[in-house]
Amino acid sequence: MSICPSIQNGSNWQSINLKSFQRDVDGNVLENLSKQCGIKYINTSSCHHIDDQGIKLITSSCSYLECWDISWCMNMNITENDIRILAESCSKFTIFKAEGCTHMTNNAAIELGKNCSNLLVLVLNRCSSLTDDSLIALAHYSPLLDTLIVANCTGLTDDTLITLEKYCYQLNKLHGIVSSEFSTLNFYQWLKSEEYAL
């Protein structure tokens, strides 16, 4: 029995989940993956040995990338500038997850919004350096946003809620649990479905 060459060499791979291999994933793995230019989804959450060079390899080669999860990559040597490069290179992003990403600053989030206007799902839980400035810009640039997770982002206020209501008409799920200075009254007046949580 022979194995199809495209399975062996990965030329038809569209989705790759590396979370289970977090200790083994490094720049060499990403270099090999970057040769699979049809990748649309990649999960590198909790992969601690990925550096900015690995990020650049993937973003420069995988122009079809629609979803990337870089959550909890604590030791990643990825900077605010790398997130900007990622956003500029992956304009087809519909899903981006950066839970617990210490380098997700206001500037990085704004660049993500500017370059990825088709974002549907954005997970920024525990990105503690974010403030209203970034979320207000994201709301302007990402009108298709359906799901936004900003729990434990303590720099957000009601100004974020007001802007999301004004520009993100399709927002169906917002998690802001213990997230900020959202006033309870303003938050509950704004609710559109049971999916929202404060």
Across the range 152-170, mean pLDDT stands at 89
The structural domains of the chain, with segments of one domain joined by +, span 5-190
> Distance of CA 187 to CAs 112, 135, 157, 171, Å?
25, 16, 10, 14
> Residue 9 has what pLDDT?
52
> Distance of CA 173 to CAs 25, 41, 124, 168, 169, Å?
32, 22, 13, 11, 11
* Alpha-carbon span 128 to 125, nearest angstrom: 8
**pTM, rounded to two decimals:** 0.83
Rank 7-16, 127-136, 174-183 by mean pLDDT and report only the highest: 127-136
Sequence letter at residue 25 = V
Task: List the structure tokens of 146.
Answer: 């359906």
Across the range 41-50, mean pLDDT stands at 81
**CATH 3.80.10.10 for the 5-190 domain, yes or no:** yes
| CA-closest candidate to residue 143, choices 164, 124, 159 | 164
Mean of pLDDT over the chain = 80
Maximum Cα interatomic distance, the chain, rounded to a whole number of Å: 65
Rank 31-45, 77-91, 100-114 by mean pLDDT and report only the highest: 100-114
| CA-closest candidate to residue 114, choices 87, 95, 90, 86 | 87
Q: What is the pLDDT of residues 132-153, one digit of tens each?
A: 999 999 999 999 999 999 988 8
Band the pLDDT of 105: cuts 50, 70, 90: very high
Give the residue with greater pLDDT, 157 vs 78: 157
Beta strands in 114-153 (DSSP E): 121-123, 147-149
> Residue 8 has what pLDDT?
46
Instruction: Give the neighbor-by-neighbor strand order of the sheet with 41-43.
Output: 15-17, 41-43, 67-69, 95-97, 121-123, 147-149, 173-175
Sequence letter at residue 37 = C
